[in-house]
Amino acid sequence: MRELATYQIRQAPSPLPPSPSSDVLTAEHWGILSAIADTVVPSYAPLAGNRLLQHPLRGEVYQASCKRLEHGIGLPDANVLATSYLAEGAFAQEEFKDGLTRLINLQLHEEARKQLIFILDALGHDGRSHLGPQLMPCSSRAGSLLLTGYTTPLDCLPIQTREEILRGWADSRLPLLRQLHRSFTTLVKVLWVRTSPTLGLVLTILIPPSTDNVPEVLEADVVVVGSGCGGAVAAKTFAEAGMKVIVVDKSYYWPPEHLPMSEHEGFAHLFANGGALQSDDSTMAIVAGSAWGGGGTVNWSASLQTQGFIRREWSHKFGLTHFTSAAYQADLDAVCDRMGVGTAAIEHNKTNQVLLDGARKLGWNAKAVPQNTGGKAHNCGYCTLGCGSSGKQGPAETFLPDAGRAGATFIEGFDVEEVLFENSTGLGDKRAVGIKGVWMSRDSSGGVAGTDRSSRQVIIKAPKVIVSCGSLYTPVLLRRSGLTNPHIGRHLHMHPVCLVGAVWDEDTMPWEGSILTTVINEFENLDGEGYGVKLEANCMLPGFFLPLFPWRSGLEFKEFAAKMKRMTGYISLARDRYGGRVYPDPVDSSQARIQYAPSKHDKAHILEGMVHLAELLYVEGAKEIFTSIPSTPSFVRPFADPEAKVQVTGIHAPSINDAEFQAWLTKLRRAGLPSPDTGFASAHQMGSCRMGTSPHNSAVDPNGRVWGTQGLYVCDASVFPSASGVNPMVTNMAISRGVARHIVEREGVSPSTAARSRL
């Protein structure tokens, strides 16, 4: 039996701003939502209690589940913990309710809120005051009958009946009901995994603690909007060339003592829209950093350079010859050198070692992924919530401090409303002269949760404006500033992923160790035109993994989640071919709306990658293999296989040609990735202001200047001509360095001064 680990928690809490004072939902709506939440993650009891609030289990079923959980927990108080875990219902937790309130009132766009209210109305009461499921007379509605098969509103039905309804939605012939199943179950899983007080104890995972009207006018030579990977590199280049630089960002700097944050705090403070971005049709979950240091603060240390075939495509297909030049390679090497990128200090954890070992057995091309950790080991599985050791050498540890030492100044909490222009130049172009926005102070205690914060309009005048808001928000800002080039916001590329996981006989504690240190490149060119998939490890914090898998019942999901300490997880990551678009929300122009769905071409590649991940996990001896495809059950080895770890020289090593496994793969291929059942995710956004040789095919010119303007440039991944096929950080940095160098050279900086801009 394991001993319960004792941790010294050193993180300072990072409180969230107050919840919204007004609520778009009525009490009736919340009654329906609470019923759905407590159906997806119910409170289980061994005897019949309040069937609206608890899911009663037969004594033997309850005891069997407790025994399985106790065995997996392996702690002295496992029986008490298992009972508490089963008894926990999602909606009884204050942090869960707070997260749901924030998401609905602050993070959902107006159209999505209207759709949600419409569905809740259909499932609920006839407009009468909601007194709670125990007191409210249950009235019938046609919508409830249509959606559930019952005339009784959803929150007046027992949990067991509600569970049958949700399962029925999953198997419905109607796409709407299948989409409702996925949307509601995913929402509840995400928030519960982030906020559950018992799941972390069951997994023995360390969960950090929760923890006037006249504008001010400033002046600079260059203002950089965004402190992320592109903006930080550009700011350093300008500042070290002797230019007066101001960097602004709507996010706030969190010193290392606040990091890593808890998942509940981290998603709110470090990710765009609280980590709740999704495509218009809700099939794509989109994770984008919105922190001081941008995506470089929350990424997984992977530091891959632009591959040769991508560089040739950008040069030959798009006419951007810089990408096949020695100068571009020098930019790649320079940014990597500054971050200490390398592989020598890597210590692979179980998740990543499985990829290397399995690829070797199957003869596949695999390699270690270079890490931006200053040449040192960095075994931090929590780094996507901020790096408390500062071992990850992201923008906040490297390029931004370098810029500061060279004289750059920084403004946090600055939300830019528009780029300012003066009258057209002689060329007919608009000339950028600065930016305007609103600065929001910290509170009196130095945080951002207090109510005593002040705001002020600020104008920054500068002849050079660098927009580095990322592929989702750069086009939104340019559109909001009055620019009309139709390519602004189009050609949005992503790396859509689906997941494959495995359960092992032994504890893996997958959140420990480096996150992503291995990549399999064997299948990166499935169509002969440079499009395919890479197979990589997924971040194994519960909130980044568990919610992405199908929900079939509350008990099954709880038992599934409790097995995570014996899991490893992987992504089949596609280089998308066709892309989508991003545009300002019609109601709130500061928000990005995303029109994107993986194409059949991309889905076929993702599925092929999932099949190969399953093959690898099988030969490595996984006890159970599962996928994020709702209609595909797990593959479970039919008997204990003591030879599963025999080396390839052993005569009994498992083969991917084993009959039972091949039969399961056939089912996996036959199931495919059906819409709208299958959910996809992406943490890489690119190309929405793509670079090109003409305003007729692109948003910016080969030097990053926005077509139709003077003095306005873009330095972020939105300028990629197409998807990079690798984690985009290093490519973004190298392009931004090249754009900034070009501006410095055009400004006529002397050679002695320009030499100081070397990275």
Question: In the structure, what pLDDT confidence band is assigned to residue 139 with cuts at 50, 70 and 90?
Answer: very low
Return all residues near 68 (Cβ < 8 A) that are at least 6 apart.
559
330-341: average pLDDT = 99
Paired tokens of 59: 């004594």
Point out the least confidently predicted range of 169-178, 357-366, 661-670: 169-178
3-state SS assignment for residue 279: coil
The values of phi and psi at residue 469, to 5°, are -90, 0
Q: Is the Cβ–Cβ distance between 690 and 489 less than 8 Å? A: no
340: left (phi over 0), alpha (psi -120 to 50) or beta: left
Point out the least confidently predicted range of 139-153, 198-212, 536-550: 198-212
Tell me whether strands 518-520 and 533-537 are parallel, antiparallel or unpaired: antiparallel
Interior angle at CA 546, CA 271 and CA 507, nearest 5: 120
195-211: average pLDDT = 75
Point out the least confidently predicted range of 245-254, 598-607, 631-640, 656-665: 631-640
Q: Is the Cβ–Cβ distance between 147 and 54 less than 8 Å? A: no
Paired tokens of 269: 């403070």
User: Bridge partners of 452?
Assistant: none
Tell me whether strands 43-45 and 54-56 are parallel, antiparallel or unpaired: parallel
Question: In the structure, what pLDDT confidence band is assigned to residue 143 with cuts at 50, 70 and 90?
Answer: confident
Distance CA 434, CA 225 (A): 10
Eight-state DSSP code of residue 106: I
Question: In the structure, what pLDDT confidence band is assigned to residue 312 with cuts at 50, 70 and 90?
Answer: very high
Question: In the structure, what pLDDT confidence band is assigned to residue 21 with cuts at 50, 70 and 90?
Answer: confident
Return all residues near 654 (Cβ < 8 A) that are at least 6 apart.
618, 619, 621, 641, 643, 644, 661
166-170: average pLDDT = 94
Give residue 428's pLDDT. 75
Please check the confidence at residue 336 and state whether its pLDDT lies above 70: yes
Distance CA 247, CA 224 (A): 5
Whole-number percent of the chain with pLDDT over 90: 80
Residue 706 burial by CB count (10 A; 0-12/13-18/19+): exposed, middle or buried?
A: buried
pLDDT tens figures, 391-428: 999 999 999 999 999 999 999 999 999 999 997 656 67
Q: What is the mean pLDDT of the chain?
A: 91
CA end-to-end distance (rounded Å), the chain: 52
Eight-state DSSP code of residue 323: G
Give residue 99's pLDDT. 93
> In the Cβ-directed half-sphere of 51, how many Cα atoms lie within 13 Å?
10
User: Bridge partners of 43?
Assistant: 54
Give residue 180's pLDDT. 93
Whole-number percent of the chain with pLDDT over 70: 91
pLDDT tens figures, 387-396: 999 999 999 9
Give residue 145's pLDDT. 86
Q: Is the Cβ–Cβ distance between 693 and 319 less than 8 Å? A: yes
Please check the confidence at residue 12 and state whether its pLDDT lies above 90: no
Question: In the structure, what pLDDT confidence band is assigned to residue 1 with cuts at 50, 70 and 90?
Answer: very low
User: How many of the other CB atoms lie within 10 Å of CB of 75?
Assistant: 18
444-449: average pLDDT = 88
Give residue 446's pLDDT. 87
Eight-state DSSP code of residue 172: -
The DSSP annotation for 464-477 comes to EEEE-SHHHHHHHH
Please check the confidence at residue 127 and state whether its pLDDT lies above 60: no
User: How many of the other CB atoms lie within 10 Å of CB of 446?
Assistant: 7
720-735: average pLDDT = 99
Residue of higher predicted confidence among 581 and 174: 581
Whole-prediction pTM = 0.88
Give residue 286's pLDDT. 97
Cα distances (Å, whole numbers) of residue 561 to 64, 196, 203, 362: 17, 11, 9, 30
User: Which amino acid, 412?
Assistant: E
Interior angle at CA 704, CA 700 and CA 709, nearest 5: 60
Residue of higher predicted confidence among 491 and 49: 491
Please check the confidence at residue 636 and state whether its pLDDT lies above 50: yes
Q: Is the Cβ–Cβ distance between 747 and 734 less than 8 Å? A: no
Residue of higher predicted confidence among 655 and 303: 303
Q: Is the Cβ–Cβ distance between 35 and 133 less than 8 Å? A: yes
Dihedral sign (CA 277, 281, 285, 288)? negative
Question: In the structure, what pLDDT confidence band is assigned to residue 208 with cuts at 50, 70 and 90?
Answer: low
Eight-state DSSP code of residue 482: T
| Of 622, 700, 157, 635, residue with least CA distance to 466 | 700
Give residue 556's pLDDT. 96
Tell me whether strands 490-494 and 685-686 are parallel, antiparallel or unpaired: antiparallel
Question: In the structure, what pLDDT confidence band is assigned to residue 48 with cuts at 50, 70 and 90?
Answer: low
pLDDT tens figures, 641-662: 444 444 444 445 688 999 999 9
Distance CA 686, CA 735 (A): 13
The separation between CA 611 and the C-alpha centre of its own chain, rounded to angstroms, equals 23
Dihedral sign (CA 28, 33, 36, 39)? negative
| Of 197, 704, 680, 151, residue with least CA distance to 466 | 704
Eight-state DSSP code of residue 491: E
Q: According to DSSP H, which parts of 638-747 are helical?
A: 659-671, 729-746
- Kind and range of the H or E element at 297? helix 295-298
**What is the torsion angle, in degrees rounded to the nearest 10, for the CA atoms of residue 39, residue 44, residue 48 and residue 53?**
-40
Paired tokens of 218: 């400033």
| Of 206, 251, 263, 269, residue with least CA distance to 10 | 206
Q: What is the largest CA-CA distance in the chain?
A: 84
Preceding peptide of 20 cis, ω within 30°: no
Distance CA 31, CA 39 (A): 12
Give residue 184's pLDDT. 94
Please check the confidence at residue 162 and state whether its pLDDT lies above 50: yes
- Kind and range of the H or E element at 371? strand 371-372
Residue of higher predicted confidence among 483 and 108: 483
Give residue 219's pLDDT. 97
pLDDT tens figures, 537-566: 999 999 999 999 999 999 999 999 999 999
Residue 699 burial by CB count (10 A; 0-12/13-18/19+): exposed, middle or buried?
A: buried
Please check the confidence at residue 273 and state whether its pLDDT lies above 70: yes
Give residue 562's pLDDT. 98
Q: Is the Cβ–Cβ distance between 753 and 241 less than 8 Å? A: yes
Question: In the structure, what pLDDT confidence band is assigned to residue 52 with cuts at 50, 70 and 90?
Answer: confident
Preceding peptide of 208 cis, ω within 30°: no
Please check the confidence at residue 168 and state whether its pLDDT lies above 80: yes
Domains for the chain: give ranges and CATH numbers.
27-42+89-197 (no CATH), 216-340+375-492+683-757 (3.50.50.60)
707-719: average pLDDT = 98
| Of 349, 346, 364, residue with least CA distance to 619 | 364
Give residue 652's pLDDT. 54
479-500: average pLDDT = 98
Dihedral sign (CA 712, 714, 718, 724)? positive
Return all residues near 259 (Cβ < 8 A) that are at least 6 apart.
11, 385, 386, 387, 388
Give residue 460's pLDDT. 98
Give residue 502's pLDDT. 99
Question: In the structure, what pLDDT confidence band is assigned to residue 196 with cuts at 50, 70 and 90?
Answer: very high
Helix axes 175-195, 159-170, angle to 10 degrees: 120
144-157: average pLDDT = 89
Point out the least confidently predicted range of 196-200, 211-215, 288-292, 679-683: 211-215
3-state SS assignment for residue 109: coil
Distance CA 229, CA 715 (A): 9
Please check the confidence at residue 8 and state whether its pLDDT lies above 50: no
